[in-house]
Amino acid sequence: MRKVGFIGWRGMVGSVLIKRMIEESDFSDFDSYFFSTSQAGQKNPEWNISFKNETLIDAFDIQELSKMDILMSCQGGEYTSKVFSQLRNIKWEGHWIDAASTLRMKEDSLIVLDPINKKSIDKAYDSGIKNWVGGNCTVSLMLLAISGLLEKNLIDWVSSMTYQAASGAGANNMRELLIQMGQIHSSVSDDLDGHNLNILDVDNKALQAMNSEKFQKSNFQVPLAGNLIPWIDEDLNNGQSREEWKGQSETNKILAIDFNPIKVDGLCVRIATMRSHCQALTLKLNKNIPIEEINDIIANGNEWIKFIPNKKEQSVNLLSPAQVSGKLNIAVGRVRKLDIDQNCISIFTVGDQLLWGAAEPIRRMLKILINKGNSK
Ligand code: NAP
C-alpha cells in the first residue's frame, strides 16, 4: 500500500477534505499518516480510520515527510514555501498535492479540476509532473458553473464580481465572524426585546459596537459582520488584488490555453456569509444564441450543475449560500440576456468553496494518483 501523509487536516479545507474522504471510504486505498505543525507527539484525531502513525508526526520533519509516496497539504502557502523545496532538494520524488496557491503557476505544477481538465492531468502525469495544486476557489467554481459554454468555445470574455464567504479566509476568520455577529447582537439585544423599537437608535448602537475598540477583528482587521470588505488577498499595486488576478491566469492555465487567453476580470469582495462563494458573472458570448439554448448548454455542463430557472421564487429560495453550503451542487441561475448587448448574458452562481472550491478537486486528484497505481 502506498503511504499518504496528510498535513493541514485541522483547518477549514483539511477538515472538509477528511469528512469527504471518510464519506467516500477513500482511506481504505492506502496507508495514512498524519502530520501536524502545532501538535506533533499528541494523540491522533478520533476518526474511525486506521492510522499508521501512533502519535501526530512533526510536519516540519523533512526526513519523516520524505518517507511518504504522496503528501497532501491543506496547511497553507507559508508551510508550502518552508517545506516543499527542502523536500525536492533532498530528491524526494513523491507526489505533492496542495490546496495553497504557492505552486499553482509554476511550470512544473498542474492546477487540478478533473471535470474540466482530466486530459491535461493524464498528459502531465505521463510527462512526469508530480506537483498537483487545487485552483483558487472562485476560479474552480466559476469554471464548473460555465463548463457547458466553455466546452462549446462560446465565451469571449467574463467579468466576475464575487461575494466570498468568511470561511474562505480560514477557520479562525470564520470564528471571528461569529464572534462579531454576537458582539453586534449583544450591543442591542435589550432593545430588540421590547415592542417600542427605535430602529435608528438600534442601528446607531450596532454601528458604534462595530467601530469600537473592543470589537474583535484581529483576523479580518475590520468588521465583516454587518459590513463587507471590497479587497481580498494582496495588493498588486496596479489597482488589482491578487484574488482578481487569479481569475484570468488560473482559468487559462486550467484550460491549457497559451494563446488568445479568455479574458477574465472583476472585483472580489468578502461578505459576511459563513460558507459558499457567490459570483455575479457577465459573459460576452461570441455568438448571438437564443436564451433557451444558452440555458440548456449551461444546465447540461456537468453532473454537479443545479440549474435554477430565472424566476423570482426559485432564485430567492434556491440560489443562495444557505441552500448550497455542504453540497457538491453548483447552483447556477439568473441567466438572462443583458439589455446592453445581445451577446452579453448574466449568471449568478453559488458553490461551496470548501468542497468544489478546495477539497474536492484535491481529493479526486489523490484518487486519480492511487488509481494510476504509480505514485513515485
Ligand atoms: P485554516 O482554516 O486557517 O487552516 C490552516 C491551518 O491552521 C490548520 O491546518 C491548523 O494547523 C491551523 N489552525 C490554527 N488555528 C486553527 C483553528 N482554530 N482551527 C483549525 N485550524 C487551525 O486554512 P484553510 O482555509 O483550510 O486554508 C488552507 C489552504 O487552502 C490555504 O493555502 C488557503 O489559501 C487554501 N484554500 C482555502 C480555501 C477556503 O475556502 N478556505 C479555498 C481554496 C484554497 P495545525 O493543526 O498544524 O495547527
Instruction: For residue range 5-59, list pLDDT tens digits in order.
Output: 999 999 999 999 999 999 999 999 999 999 999 999 999 999 989 999 999 999 9
- Whether 277 sits among the annotated catalytic residues: the reply is yes
Cβ neighbour number for residue 327 with a 10 Å cutoff: 16
Length of the chain equals: 376
Q: pLDDT category, 373, cuts 50, 70, 90?
A: confident
Q: How far apart are CA 86 and CA 62, in angstroms?
A: 7
State in Å: Cα 74 to ligand 1 middle. 7
Phi, psi torsion values for 257, nearest 5 degrees: -100, 115
The contacts found for 103-112 with CB under 8 angstroms, 24 or more apart, are 103/131, 103/133, 104/133, 104/135, 104/136, 104/250, 104/253, 105/249, 105/250, 105/253, 106/131, 109/133, 111/135, 111/250, 111/253, 111/254, 112/361, 112/362, 112/364, 112/365
Instruction: For residue range 243-275, list pLDDT tens digits in order.
Output: 999 999 999 999 999 899 999 999 999 999 999
Chain centre to alpha carbon of residue 181: 23
Q: How far apart are CA 83 and CA 344, in angstroms?
A: 45
Q: Which residue puts its alpha carbon closest to atom 3 of ligand 1?
A: 170
Ligand 1 atom nearest to CA at 354: 40
Cβ neighbour number for residue 212 with a 10 Å cutoff: 11
Q: pLDDT category, 195, cuts 50, 70, 90?
A: confident
Q: Is the distance from CB of 351 to CB of 277 less than 8 angstroms?
A: yes
Query: Does the pLDDT of residue 375 top 90, yes or no?
Result: no
Percent of the chain with pLDDT strictly greater than 70: 99
Q: Is the distance from CB of 62 to CB of 36 less than 8 angstroms?
A: no
* Residue type present at position 306: K
Query: Does the pLDDT of residue 376 top 60, yes or no?
Result: no
- Whether 137 sits among the annotated catalytic residues: the reply is yes
Report the mean per-residue pLDDT for the chain: 96
Average pLDDT rounded to a whole number, residues 82-93: 97
Instruction: For residue range 267-308, list pLDDT tens digits in order.
Output: 999 999 999 999 999 999 999 999 999 999 999 999 999 999
User: Which pLDDT score, from 0 to 100, does residue 75 have?
Assistant: 98
Pocket test for ligand 1, best of 6, 9, 10 (most atoms within 8 A of CB): 10
Catalytic residue among 74, 95, 137, 278: 137
Pocket test for ligand 1, best of 6, 9, 12 (most atoms within 8 A of CB): 12
Q: Which residue puts its alpha carbon closest to atom 39 of ligand 1?
A: 168
Q: Does residue 86 sit in helix, strand or coil?
A: helix
Instruction: For residue range 59-77, list pLDDT tens digits in order.
Output: 999 999 999 999 999 999 9
User: Which pLDDT score, from 0 to 100, does residue 130 have?
Assistant: 98
State in Å: Cα 255 to ligand 1 middle. 27
Half-sphere exposure of 78 (CA within 13 A, CB side): 2
State in Å: Cα 328 to ligand 1 middle. 20
Q: pLDDT category, 193, cuts 50, 70, 90?
A: confident
User: Which pLDDT score, from 0 to 100, does residue 374 have?
Assistant: 53
Q: How far apart are CA 309 and CA 287, in angstroms?
A: 22
Q: Is the distance from CB of 63 to CB of 42 less than 8 angstroms?
A: no
Q: How far apart are CA 289 and CA 164, in angstroms?
A: 31
Average pLDDT rounded to a whole number, residues 324-332: 98
Q: Which residue puts its alpha carbon closest to atom 21 of ligand 1?
A: 11
Q: Which residues line ligand 1 (CB under 6 A)?
A: 8, 10-14, 36-39, 74-77, 99-101, 137, 167-168, 170-172, 353-354, 357-358
Query: Does the pLDDT of residue 194 top 80, yes or no?
Result: no
Question: What Å distances lie between residue 266 and 8, 53, 158, 242, CA to CA?
Answer: 30, 45, 8, 12
Query: Does the pLDDT of residue 339 top 90, yes or no?
Result: yes
Q: Locate cell 444557505: which residue?
A: 322
Instruction: For residue range 93-110, list pLDDT tens digits in order.
Output: 999 999 999 999 999 999
State in Å: Cα 326 to ligand 1 middle. 17
Average pLDDT rounded to a whole number, residues 205-214: 97
State in Å: Cα 15 to ligand 1 middle. 9
Instruction: For residue range 225-248, list pLDDT tens digits in order.
Output: 999 999 999 999 999 999 999 999
